[in-house]
Amino acid sequence: MITVGMLAKIRRMHIRDGLSLREIARRTGLSRNTIRDWLRQADVVEPKYPKRVTKSVLDPWTEQLSSCLKTDRHRLKRDRRTARVLYQTIQQQGYAGGYGRVCAFVRRFKSDESGPARQNAYVPLRFAPGEAFQFDWSCEYAIVGGCRRRLEVAHAKLAASRVFWLVAYLSQSHEMLFDAHARAFQAFGGVPKRGIYDNMKTAVDRVGHGKERTVNARFEAMCGHYLFDPEFCNRAAGWEKGIVEKNVQDRRRQIWQDVATRPWDSLEELNTWLAEHCRMAWDAMRHPEWPERTIAEVWRDEQLQLMPVPRPFDAYLEQPVRVSTTALIHFQRNRYSVPAEHVNRVVSLRIYPAELVVVVDGEEIARLARSFERYQTRYDFRHYIGIVQRKPGALRNGAPFADMPEPLVLLQRHLLRHPGGDKVMVQVLAAIPVHGLDVVMEAVRQALEAGRPSGEHVLNVLSRLKSPPPPDPGVMESCPALRDEPVANVARYDELMTFQQEVGHDH
């Protein structure tokens, strides 16, 4: 292959030194015809040769990869497949090459399609151990409880060691934000001195000029509890918390790819899996500033600079609600039952990530499982026992009693076949606040197993279950024995009768 340097050398030997074509061919090893053709050119330019075509082990898969990449252009960025996912796909179909060839093909394809992109310049950031953490939310999708749900994933990341923590929720409300911090600090083993956020509505009520912020009072209380200073980025300046911004992208391409391919029974199961894989990633990933060390090793050094973790912040929001005449409260388009004695009262509702707590005069009266669906009514039949004691007829078609445990439903079905069965069933239900649901359920089971259950039978079994256990025979044997054992003497009765008759004759 002739280069510009060789062409310049040929021209010097022929034009300047006057050498013949034969002598130039002898010295350079080129043919005379080639030398003659290049000397006839007017300008010294780079010779152009046809591109060499070489076969690659990736050639049978290039059409499939191109089709996948073209399809991904019409998807959201979070749903686009990474080069690793494409590599794993064709590998399962028989591709025997390496991952690097697939990466190179993807880079060439994107470069050819989009052309050279304008690159922004940023200043690299560095943080001291224990100095700061960064927090952000991301929107992801997964199949939870048989439905495809939109999840809000909280990302917390230590700025120095780069360890991170992920927790999935169904919304971005205050109680979720507080719970995410409590879990992250517990996993990190300490609290940094600063927290870096964007201007999320759960933390900032109003964005002022420059760095002026009106911080939410409840968020400020959480910061005061954990003793760290909140710091908020400028508008549209995500690079100020670029460490966690990149964490969102990386975790979406790595951890969340596995989450999206399998169903989850509950959000708790998903978060347990996320916690395990976060810790596994700490041990596998290298620190970007110290490649010879993993981020887990750097994190162990940073733990010495973190503030101790206090008790978890009581992560709830509180609002007043009124109890309706049907002993229901309304919250986020759902209805929940509370004890009926608080009808028409205004009670305090404390909102937690997974449950609702109803408080009256500082005392908890109900703890309810929170539902994130809409237009649901959640009953607890125990809240209505006081009403059916006064109105036993409401037991037959009462909506709260349709969801009683199965043994109670079977007993009710049997008792209502007979006159006055509703009153008898109310007597059984009235024992629940006194003795507890578990004990009454056991009594009902034993009565049902007997074959002919009745209210008297259930109450009799309940009294036997609640009676104190008989004394231990071993304890009885260890009691001291009497010196003089009492003797049964029937003759003493005859003596008493004789004495009574004598007294009668005297009078």
For residue 300, what pLDDT is reported? 94
Most confident of 24-28, 54-58, 273-277, 412-416: 273-277
For residue 367, what pLDDT is reported? 92
Q: Identify the CA nearest to 286 among candidates 271, 299, 270.
A: 299
For residue 258, what pLDDT is reported? 86
Percent share of the chain, pLDDT over 90: 37
Cβ 465 vs Cβ 418: under 8 Å = no
pLDDT > 60? residue 383 = yes
Q: For 394-429, what is each residue's pLDDT tens digit? A: 888 889 988 888 988 888 888 888 888 888 888 888
pLDDT > 90? residue 252 = no
For residue 327, what pLDDT is reported? 92
Q: What is the mean pLDDT of residues 141-150?
A: 91
Q: Grade residue 257 by pLDDT with cuts at 50, 70 and 90.
A: confident
For residue 501, what pLDDT is reported? 63
d(CA 290, CA 421) in angstroms, rounded, equals: 77
Backbone angles phi, psi at 259, to 5 degrees: -65, -40
For residue 451, what pLDDT is reported? 77
For residue 184, what pLDDT is reported? 95
Q: Identify the CA nearest to 125 among candidates 221, 29, 234, 241.
A: 241
For residue 479, what pLDDT is reported? 61
Strand order in 164-169's β-sheet? 164-169, 147-158, 132-144, 194-197, 229-232
Q: For 155-166, what is each residue's pLDDT tens digit? A: 999 999 999 999
pLDDT > 60? residue 507 = no
pLDDT > 90? residue 295 = yes
d(CA 323, CA 320) in angstroms, rounded, equals: 10
> Alpha carbon of 16 to those of 8, 13, 32, 44, 275: distances in Å?
11, 6, 18, 15, 77
pLDDT > 80? residue 198 = yes
pLDDT > 90? residue 306 = yes
For residue 27, what pLDDT is reported? 87
| Residue carrying structure tokens 């911004």 | 245
- Three-state DSSP string of 1-68: CCCHHHHHHHHHHHHHCCCCHHHHHHHHCCCHHHHHHHHCCCCCCCCCCCCCCCCCCCHHHHHHHHHH
Cβ 135 vs Cβ 156: under 8 Å = yes
pLDDT > 80? residue 505 = no
For residue 287, what pLDDT is reported? 93
For residue 229, what pLDDT is reported? 93
Residues present in the chain in total:
507
Question: Which residue did the predictor score with more confidence, 55 or 283?
Answer: 283
Of the candidate ranges 254-258, 453-457, 478-482, the one whose mean pLDDT is the lowest: 478-482
Q: Grade residue 219 by pLDDT with cuts at 50, 70 and 90.
A: very high
pLDDT > 60? residue 433 = yes
**Domains, the chain, ordered by start:** 59-112 (no CATH), 132-305 (3.30.420.10), 317-378 (2.40.50), 385-466 (no CATH)
Residue 273, token pair as written in the block? 């899996």
For residue 474, what pLDDT is reported? 56
> Alpha carbon of 321 to those of 88, 104, 329, 345: distances in Å?
53, 60, 7, 8
For residue 181, what pLDDT is reported? 95
Number of CB atoms found within 10 A of residue 186's CB: 12
For residue 424, what pLDDT is reported? 86
For residue 9, what pLDDT is reported? 84
d(CA 323, CA 347) in angstroms, rounded, equals: 7
Q: Grade residue 279 by pLDDT with cuts at 50, 70 and 90.
A: very high
**Interior angle at CA 96, CA 95 and CA 97, nearest 5:** 100
Residue 217, token pair as written in the block? 């009072």
Q: For 333-382, what is each residue's pLDDT tens digit? A: 999 999 999 999 999 999 999 899 999 988 999 999 999 888 999 999 99
For residue 75, what pLDDT is reported? 83
For residue 495, what pLDDT is reported? 74
Kind of pairing between the strands at 355-360 and 363-369: antiparallel
For residue 321, what pLDDT is reported? 94
pLDDT > 90? residue 270 = yes
For residue 339, what pLDDT is reported? 93
pLDDT > 80? residue 274 = yes
| pTM metric for this prediction | 0.69
Q: For 64-90, what is each residue's pLDDT tens digit? A: 999 988 888 888 777 788 888 888 889
pLDDT > 70? residue 467 = no
How high does pLDDT run on average in the chain?
86
Q: Grade residue 324 by pLDDT with cuts at 50, 70 and 90.
A: very high
d(CA 39, CA 41) in angstroms, rounded, equals: 5
